[in-house]
Structure 1
Amino acid sequence: MNNIKRSFLFLLLIGLFSCESKNTTVSLVAGEEHKYKIIGYIAGWKGVDTAKIDAAKMTHINYAFANVIDGKVMEGEGREKSDKENLTKLNSLKSLNPDLKILISIGGWTWSKGFSDAALTEESRKIFTASAIDYLVRHDLDGLDFDWEYPGLPGDNNPYRQEDKENFVLMLKSVREALDSLGSINDTHYLSTIASAGFKEYLDVNDLGQAQKYLDFINIMTYDYIVQFSSDTTGHHANLQTIDQNVRSSEKAVNDHVAAGVPIEKLVMGMAFYGRSWSNVNPENNGLYQFGKGSKGYPYSAISELMKDSLFVRHWDENSKAPFLWNEKERIFVTFEDAESISEKAKFIKKHKMGGAMFWEYSEDTEDHTLLNAIYENLK
């Protein structure tokens, strides 16, 4: 999009945005909930090689991340050139899949420090919204994905306030109004989505029932239920179910979102293309739910290589619908996702008519796309 057209659209947008929107809520088109979404996050700092991306098997790509600096959405320091190049490459994938949508994901675990201030006042929300729309137009994107980790909670030692609960909704409303104004100019529906947490504490300090009115869908991060560096006990980090009500699960996360007022057809279940490990693990129960020392994380591509080593034995926990690896000799435990656990999650998605599946992160799959293929084959 050339600079003259971008400036023209942006000026019109600001004029429309200054007027009260009559109806900014997002409703699903009849039958749309049965066209399952497959949303892949791609980490910009790892680069983009379009030859390695199977665009035909995804409906959306979320490029991670844009930062929030001084209340504005912008490229991270030193990333202006590389992000522009990467987003141009991703947009080129539409020649292979014309229905593919490209979104910018804003924030993330380490870049969520500016959200609370940006959402604090009506004036700051206008500045934030204008910068988000400018970013979208500048890179010719299809939508905005807000990955605020987390409103009302510290996340990575981030500033947070009790008022985040209300301000988060007002921020999303402001963005929705602006996207609708821009869309009315060029007859396009721009997407607004969020990544939400897979634990109830997040829902308790937010109002997702109101927030969802301004969102096309919500990607639940139904993984990282247990992190090796913060727990000396092993477990599943992306399990679908649990028989222990004190243990997190994807099923509980979905049910909690519905109880909070989110229509289930707007919910997208997250899947992890990586695993976590512990060493020096107590050997009882093949290392599951045992004391150990937090060790390293693995992309699924590396886990698939571990499974070729006879020392690493794959086990299946039927109660959790989750796999794990146990190396008895070296006392190493690995929690991860695989094609079987993805199949179980896909069954859940279809049974309950959820919006679809998303995953973090594309490059961590095998070269032959084992996990993406599992999602696609089970949801197509």
Structure 2
Amino acid sequence: MTTDLENLLPSQETPVEFITPTDGTVTKDPSVCVKTKKKIKLKKKSTKGVWINSVASFILEEQLDGVEIVYRWPETSEDRKNFALFVRELKFKLARVEKIAKRKAPYIIGIYSSAYVWASKDVSLLDDIRNYVDFFNVETDNFYAPYHKNNIMTGPLSPLYSLGKDDKSIDRTMEKYTCKTMKPSQLNVILSFGGVHWENVHKSSAEPDDIHFYVRDRNYSGYHFSWRYLKFFGFNLNKASFHVVAKTPYIWDKNHRSFVTFENERSLEEKMEYILSKNLGGVAIDRIDKDDDSHTLLNAVTSMNMCSGPKFAEDEIKYNCGKL
């Protein structure tokens, strides 16, 4: 492990530990993120220090602009305290590295953030770490993912607005985050360049529409797919509809009880316009390689000039926080 940052040369090879986005396990191979049996325990000062040095060394060596921390999820008050201490110490470490590298701009720290728990009134984690991070990349790209064991029905991966009292949407989530932090400029919406295919789903009486179907206690199946493989799986885009509330395309085949939901150019443009209208920080993209070789979805995102929207004051709140 290289800890002498001043003597670090680009030719040196620095092993780096990565947290995977599934269970907090890590790997030391910088080219992949795979599950291992080793886990980082942030309460151990020695382990925490080694990891911070590892991250800082890699950023300096590879001439990167920052790091996103993915920690699923601090569950106890002790977990949250240790995580907050880690983020603060990483911030101080990177400030020292900035001087070594003679950077004109500070390194960026982003935190991959839970869509639900972190914005709750009784959870202090956002308050504890927001002064030490630049962005919270909010998990808004898998509200109805097949791997959510507590899901009782399907729905769009990333609906812009909710139907009825359902809180599973970008609008409800970003409203809670904004009203919790009062810093919309720190909040990024995570966009997905893909979708989900559900099979053997059943009509929902709770939500009488064509995007919610029962899946619990049924012989159903569901899987993710990338935008680039949309046609490969044989989905007929001519049969796609666009949901006026969720602002997302979908295909419902009632004969085969098949439901497909995905992002396309229109849905991403709707999200970009929303982000501008709510004075949010910006976007984070989950795996650009899910796009096709023509960069269809990336072009849809970048075609929206983030500086061309309404002129708001810095961190001007565009939500009604009084109702929460």
Task: Specify the code of the residue in structure 2 equivalent to 1:187.
Answer: K
User: Per the alignment, in what secondary structure is the counterpart of residue 260 of structure 1?
Assistant: helix
Q: What's the counterpart of residue 167 of structure 1?
A: 82
Question: Paired residue for 1:301, among 228, 246, 256?
Answer: 228
CA distance in 1, matches of 2:284, 2:182: 17
Q: What's the counterpart of residue 39 of structure 2?
A: 114
Query: C-alpha offsets along residues 110-135 of structure 1, whole Å, 9 cap, x if unaligned?
Result: 579734x1x21555433332222122
Query: C-alpha offsets along residues 248-303 of structure 1, whole Å, 9 cap, x if unaligned?
Result: 11111111112222510111111111111211233676742122412222111222
Distance 1:111 1:179, change over 3 A: farther
Query: C-alpha offsets along residues 6-40 of structure 1, whole Å, 9 cap, x if unaligned?
Result: 845269xxxxxxxxxxxxxxxxxxxxxxxxxxxxx
TM-score by length of 2: 0.76
Contact 1:233–1:290 under 8 Å retained in 2: yes
Task: Specify the code of the residue in structure 1 equivalent to 2:101.
Answer: N
Q: What's the counterpart of residue 179 of structure 1?
A: 94
Question: Paired residue for 1:203, among 110, 113, 119?
Answer: 119
Structure 1 stretch displaced more, 277-286 or 165-174:
277-286
Query: C-alpha offsets along residues 147-199 of structure 1, whole Å, 9 cap, x if unaligned?
Result: 111122xxxxxxxx321222222111100101111112333121211111222
Distance 1:304 1:333, change over 3 A: same
CA distance in 2, matches of 1:195, 1:217: 9
Q: What's the counterpart of residue 109 of structure 2?
A: 192
User: Per the alignment, in what secondary structure is the counterpart of residue 303 of structure 2?
Assistant: helix
Paired residues, number: 282
- Among all aligned residue pairs of Structure 1 and Structure 2, give the percentage whose two residues are the same amino acid: 20
Root-mean-square deviation over aligned CA pairs:
3.1
CA distance in 2, matches of 1:10, 1:335: 50
Q: What's the counterpart of residue 59 of structure 2?
A: 136
Contact 2:113–2:139 under 8 Å retained in 1: yes
2:296 paired with 1:370: yes
Q: Which has the higher helix share?
A: 1
Contact 1:165–1:207 under 8 Å retained in 2: yes
Q: What's the counterpart of residue 249 of structure 2?
A: 323
Contact 2:199–2:258 under 8 Å retained in 1: yes
CA distance in 2, matches of 1:332, 1:206: 41
Query: C-alpha offsets along residues 33-54 of structure 1, whole Å, 9 cap, x if unaligned?
Result: xxxxxxxxxxxxxxxxxxxxxx
Contact 1:74–1:135 under 8 Å retained in 2: no
CA distance in 1, matches of 2:49, 2:179: 31
Gaps of 5+ in 1: 12-64, 84-106, 153-160
2:6 paired with 1:9: yes
Q: What's the counterpart of residue 342 of structure 1?
A: 268
Task: Specify the code of the residue in structure 2 equivalent to 1:135.
Answer: F
User: Per the alignment, in what secondary structure is the counterpart of residue 166 of structure 2?
Assistant: coil
TM-score by length of 1: 0.66
Q: What's the counterpart of residue 34 of structure 1?
A: none
Deviation >4 Å, runs of 4+: 110-113, 121-124, 283-287, 304-308
Higher relative contact order (CA 8 A, sep 6+): 1
